[in-house]
């Protein structure tokens, strides 16, 4: 039994390592240009080793999306159901989103890359990943408008997500491309904290809310970067 448990544990660790390596490859090169051999090289195994855990590249890509965005969805739902006013919970969700993308920048890079990907299969996969986030956002807007907490300049969840999530995705994934020699590390605690305060200010302006602590009082957790 001990040997079986050890093998299962090793298999789980290898699978997790493959997912991390694949996320970096897909984020850097896109789905079409990523080879299973390159993914395996990042883990120290061959192409056959990758295929042992994942049926093919499309299956691997779907698993990467589930890992990246499933983890984000779990984190946002956890934050949203905690005690506090709706305005406080919304700010906490925004902070959690920025922290997550700062700790797993491959998620931001893949999201930006997929936003212009014409492949219908990949687009369907990313839309399936986005759907629960949009449903969560619609639920928040319904509660905010029903309770009178929100007095938004534009009562549109899609407009909100394009302004708030779009700002963070661009900051993490696209800014280093547009500015080749950045004068600072955008993922440092200091810079990510400044970005978070700016995004919170945008959130409060769009929704017409003001948190009791104020934007300047938001705590900034150090980003846990993926290896």
Are the beta carbons of 58 and 121 closer than 8 angstroms?
A: yes
pLDDT at 218 over 50: no
Taking the C-alpha atoms of residue 33 and residue 60, their distance in angstroms, rounded to an integer, is: 14
Q: pLDDT digits over 28-62, tens only? A: 999 999 999 999 999 999 999 999 999 999 999 99
Taking the C-alpha atoms of residue 23 and residue 117, their distance in angstroms, rounded to an integer, is: 16
Token digits of residue 109: 């890079």
Q: State pTM to two decimals.
A: 0.86
Residue identified by tokens 């009791």 is 212
Q: pLDDT digits over 123-169, tens only? A: 899 999 999 999 999 999 998 888 888 887 777 889 999 999 999 99
Taking the C-alpha atoms of residue 164 and residue 94, their distance in angstroms, rounded to an integer, is: 8
Are the beta carbons of 202 and 79 closer than 8 angstroms?
A: no
Are the beta carbons of 107 and 101 closer than 8 angstroms?
A: yes
How high is the mean pLDDT of the chain? 88
Token digits of residue 12: 């789980």
Q: Which domains does the chain have, with CATH numbers?
A: 1-54 (1.10.10), 62-217 (1.10.357.10)
Residue 221 DSSP label: P
Exposure of 71 by Cβ count < 10 A (0-12 exposed, 13-18 middle, 19+ buried)? middle
Token digits of residue 135: 């449903």
* Helix, strand, coil % over all residues of the chain, rounded to 5: 75, 0, 25
Taking the C-alpha atoms of residue 102 and residue 105, their distance in angstroms, rounded to an integer, is: 6
Q: pLDDT digits over 164-212, tens only? A: 999 999 999 999 888 878 889 999 999 999 999 999 999 999 998 865 4
Taking the C-alpha atoms of residue 15 and residue 86, their distance in angstroms, rounded to an integer, is: 38
Q: pLDDT digits over 6-23, tens only? A: 777 888 999 999 999 999
Taking the C-alpha atoms of residue 113 and residue 115, their distance in angstroms, rounded to an integer, is: 5
Taking the C-alpha atoms of residue 176 and residue 65, their distance in angstroms, rounded to an integer, is: 22
Using alpha carbons, select from 131, 146, 139 the residue that is nearest to residue 90: 139
Are the beta carbons of 87 and 211 closer than 8 angstroms?
A: yes
């Amino acid at each position: 039994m001990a040997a079986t448990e050890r093998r299962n544990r090793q298999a789980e660790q290898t699978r997790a390592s493959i997912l991390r390596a694949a996320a970096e490859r897909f984020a850097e090169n896109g789905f079409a240009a990523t080879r299973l051999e390159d993914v395996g090289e990042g883990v120290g195994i061959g192409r056959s080793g990758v295929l042992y855990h994942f049926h093919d590249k499309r299956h691997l890509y779907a698993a990467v999306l589930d890992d990246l965005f499933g983890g984000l969805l779990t984190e946002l739902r956890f934050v949203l159901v905690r005690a506090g006013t709706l305005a406080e919970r919304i700010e906490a969700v925004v902070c959690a989103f920025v922290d997550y993308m700062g700790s797993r920048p491959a998620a931001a890079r893949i999201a930006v890359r997929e936003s212009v990907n014409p492949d219908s299969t990949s687009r369907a996969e990313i839309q399936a990943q986005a759907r629960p986030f949009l449903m969560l956002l619609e639920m928040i807007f319904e509660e905010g408008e029903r309770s009178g907490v929100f007095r938004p300049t534009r009562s549109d969840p899609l407009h909100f997500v394009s302004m708030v999530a779009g700002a963070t995705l661009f900051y993490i994934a696209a800014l280093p491309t547009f500015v080749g020699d950045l004068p600072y590390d955008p993922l440092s605690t200091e810079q990510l904290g400044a970005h978070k305060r700016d995004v919170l200010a945008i959130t409060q302006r769009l929704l017409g809310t003001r948190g009791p602590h104020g934007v300047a009082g938001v705590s900034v957790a150090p980003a846990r970067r993926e290896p």
